[in-house]
A and B are shown apart, each in its own frame.
Chain A
Amino acid sequence: MTSVVATNQTILVVGGGISGMTAALEAAETGKQVVLVEKNPYLGGRTVQLYRYFPKMCHPTCGLEINLRRLKANPRIQVLTLAEVTGISGDKGAYSVSVKLKPRYVNSNCTACGECGKAVQTEIADEFNYNLGKIKAAYLPSNMAYPQRYVIDPSIIGTPDAERAKAACKYDAVNLDDREETISLNAGAIVWATGWQPYAAEKIVYYGYDRFPNVITNVEFERLADPHGPTGGKILRPSDGKEAKNVAFIQCAGSRDENHLRHCSRFCCMGSLKQTHYVQEAYGDEGKSTIYYIDIRAIDRFEDFYQKVKANPNVTFVKSKVARITEDKAGNPVCNGVNTEGYIRYANAHDLVVLAVGMEPSVKGVQIPAEVMSDSSGFIMADPANAGIFGAGCATNALDVNRAVQSATAAALRAIQVVNKVARAEA
């Protein structure tokens, strides 16, 4: 049985992505007790699935490493992975929360040596790489995974493969009797930082994401460019593994669209501008990028970044929302539409089309087991009715990493005020 120490002076942070980690660390570093709950077997969320950040083009592993050091050094944070909040009762200052813990089948003896992964034969979809490849059913989700412990997929439990994993382990770390359990804990305040998910691109029927293999999403493109990704960092298109030297980026794929996502997702313009760098770096002057856009929204202070990309002769900007994607005989995706600068019809063939899909809040459609107000896009709003539950990061709005961290710090401050009040009352 997992034991967690939590009182009404504890802050519960739901979601262990960049926002949740930040909120947990900020609160813990002021001396508060924090329980951090993460659904995945590892921390870092969608941020660690990025190849690089804009605007400085640095790697997310760097920022994550700093946060993990802070986390490891802080005894006030208890991390629960493979955990989901299933119920919240009580009120501000005195919540009772039930958390469902899924089995990992690997205990803390694990040294991440990888022997179980070698022994197991079954392969499963590689979720970390957006299912672009396959991995063994005993796996380390990513190189930076925290905790640095293997996971055994429940699909092989009860099969000879599970026994193979157990036999291969030299450290007695595989525990096939691991069971799902539900624990309950107390908390004075809750930070809800469950982040976002990429908009389901197949819903934009005229882009044919589910019909054409060479139409992919921006998050998938991040994995293609990453040396730890399924192609070893080579930008190869999915249909035939050909080098994708002529890449189209379609902005507002789902965003700013009353039929899909009502809001501007904010990060996608900068995301695509950043991704043109990947093409340039991979193929030099042979790598051509075309950005189809309604208007470029280089938010905040990033106009400079946009101007630099604009000055690159290998990047073309077409002011148009692509109306339809078709496929030619060579399997190239063809973008069809009208360039609104001059109203010229085009049908441009590319090696690969990247849909800059927008952010959908993860809370949308997922029942938060408490009364929380959300806006028309499903993002959590700041509202007195939320009492001691505070949204943070992309659960509250479409944000880039920088702004998500700001939002998380703000949420931590609000949560701290609640538990301070509890502490004064209890003193």
Chain B
Amino acid sequence: MSDLNQEMAARYKNNFLKEIEEQAEMGEWVKMCMQCGLCSGSCPTNFHSGWDHPPQEIFMLIRAGKREEVLNAQGMYMCTSCYNCYVRCPRKVPVTHVMHGIAEYAYRIGRAPKNQPTMHLSKTFWTNATKHGRVNEVQLTQSLYFKDGIGAGIKKAMEMQKEALGLVKAGRLNPMEALGMGHKCKDVKGIHAMLAKAEELEAKNKAAKA
């Protein structure tokens, strides 16, 4: 358990709803949920393995003050950002964003599970995409395939061989990206400056709340 986790738990005592409202992005929407179940019903992931708590259940757990249960949950990492729930919600709760907000908060206070696949993807994608301003598909795929070791990576790569060759033939995948070549953003410096500024602003926002 990280210090920040304990610090937050101590500060908000039993008021987990207030903690989420103040600390998690879009957390102030949690209380607007009326528990109709439309978000869960609209979710195309069908709650395959890992979906322990669907969105409206997470929202109710937050309101019930079940801090441990929510922070241990997998639900918020499972969202694929299809936005079905967001557009359908009768209370106009931005469900997708709230789920991401909760996931990000859990990560920030050191409560995100280690090697959570979607979190791993997010982080890998972010590092990859921000490096050159555009995604290096080959390196991104490699780092995902070999996440669980060399053996598993080779197996996965063999499985996907046909698809990869098809993409190369269609000109949608440049094998030279493996060597750090391929498409890049024209003004990488500009992108980096922009991201640095965004980070600075976000840190300021979070410091104001903390």
Do A and B come together as binding partners?
yes
Cβ contacts under 8 Å, B36 to chain A: 252, 294, 320-321, 340
Category for how many chain A residues contact B: 20 to 34
Q: What is the distance, in angstroms, from A322's C-beta to the closest C-beta of chain B? A: 7
A294 touches B91 (CB 8 A): no
Cβ contacts under 8 Å, A252 to chain B: 36, 90
Q: What is the distance, in angstroms, from B35's C-beta to the closest C-beta of chain A? A: 6
Query: Is B56 at the interface (CB under 8 A from chain A)?
Result: yes
B41 touches A320 (CB 8 A): yes
**Per-position binary interface string of chain A over residues 316-340, scored 1 when its CB falls under 8 Å from any chain B CB and 0 otherwise:** 0001111110000000000011111
A323 touches B35 (CB 8 A): no
Query: Is B47 at the interface (CB under 8 A from chain A)?
Result: yes
Cβ contacts under 8 Å, A323 to chain B: 37-38, 40-42, 88
A324 to B84, CA, bound (A): 11
Nearest neighbor of B91 in chain A, beta-carbon distance:
A258
Category for how many chain B residues contact A: 10 to 19
A256 touches B90 (CB 8 A): yes
Query: Is B46 at the interface (CB under 8 A from chain A)?
Result: yes
Cβ contacts under 8 Å, A259 to chain B: 87-88, 90, 92
Query: Is A383 at the interface (CB under 8 A from chain B)?
Result: no
A322 touches B41 (CB 8 A): yes
Q: With A252-B90, A338-B37 as given contacts, are A343 and B42 in contact (CB-CB < 8 Å)? A: no
B91 touches A321 (CB 8 A): no
B90 touches A343 (CB 8 A): no
Q: What is the distance, in angstroms, from B70's C-beta to the closest C-beta of chain A? A: 15
Q: With A294-B35, A345-B46 as given contacts, are A338 and B41 in contact (CB-CB < 8 Å)? A: yes
A337 touches B37 (CB 8 A): yes
Query: Is B34 at the interface (CB under 8 A from chain A)?
Result: yes
Query: Is B54 at the interface (CB under 8 A from chain A)?
Result: yes
A338 touches B40 (CB 8 A): yes
Q: With A320-B36, A321-B36, A321-B90 as given contacts, are A343 and B41 in contact (CB-CB < 8 Å)? A: no
Query: Is B57 at the interface (CB under 8 A from chain A)?
Result: yes
Query: Is A171 at the interface (CB under 8 A from chain B)?
Result: no
